[in-house]
Amino acid sequence: MAGSLLIELDRVEKTYVQAGVDTRVLRGVSLAVGRGEFVALQGPSGSGKSTLLHILGLLERPTAGRYLLSGEDVSGFADDRLSELRNRHFGFVFQSFYLIPYASALENVLLPGLYGPESRRSLEHRAQELLARVGLADRASFKPSQLSGGQQQRVAIARALINQPAVIFADEPTGQLDSATSAEIMQLLADICTQGASIVMVTHDEETAAFAQRRIRILDGRILDNGGPGPAEG
């Protein structure tokens, strides 16, 4: 099972309690993401797709249900242990890029690596390579404010790749970009996927979703259509 299935969610629930009112955002979601898969999570706003992405990315804990990472149940891990897992195995790309404004492109790419065990020298070497790969070799010393939106998102993608993650989570990665730039960014993600990393992406944009191999539709906290292989009893 651990061979091809990277992440498995088993009957995951997520309930937010706000001002004494329970809001059930996820209602028993079971889902598997395999190695090298490019998955799009789609659904209208409020459907729970972002929460699902956060849970898959170990940024939030499920209220109930199990999370298996390469077959190991990590649901009960402490926060810092989850930080370490995110750092080692996951990369993140956000709609608003979230680059550190006072750090150069290179330093931004290095950031997750510097929280890991690898030496700075080999990290810098790879960061340069990654910047070259996203077409920004000559912008390494630029601050985010000196870069266009598309360039900033490329820096963010390079940052997501620095620790050679198994999965990249992308939350509306093209949400702030024009359509030509969006296509470039999606092509970049698709290329990364063919080189072995899984990608889980939230989007409400059909053109963007078209780059994915598998499209999971979510409505009211339930999986409507799990778009392909994997256990989908829901």
Decide: is 46 part of the binding site for another protein (CB under 8 A): no
- Rounded Cα gap, residues 138 and 111, in angstroms: 19
DSSP lists the bridge partners of residue 8 as 32, 68
CA 83, 36, 58 angle in degrees (round to 5)?
20
Residue 211 in the binding site for another protein (CB under 8 A): no
Contact call for residue 84 and another protein (CB under 8 A): yes
| Among residues 15, 63, 70, 83, the one that binds another protein under rule CB under 8 A | 83
**Residue 8 vs 60, nearer CB to another protein:** 60
DSSP state letters, 52-112: HHHHHTTSS--SEEEEEETTEE-TT--HHHHHHHHHHHEEEE-TT----TTS-HHHHHHHH
Considering the rule CB under 8 A, would residue 96 count as an interface residue with another protein? yes
- Nearer to another protein by Cβ, of 102 and 233: the residue is 102
Scanning residues 101 to 160, which ones bind another protein (CB under 8 A)? 101-103, 107, 111-112, 114-117, 120, 159
Number of Cβ within 10 Å of residue 48's Cβ equals 24
Considering the rule CB under 8 A, would residue 64 count as an interface residue with another protein?
Answer: no
User: In the complex, which residues of this chain contact another protein (CB under 8 A)?
Assistant: 54, 57, 59-60, 79-80, 83-84, 86-88, 92, 94-96, 98, 100-103, 107, 111-112, 114-117, 120, 159, 163
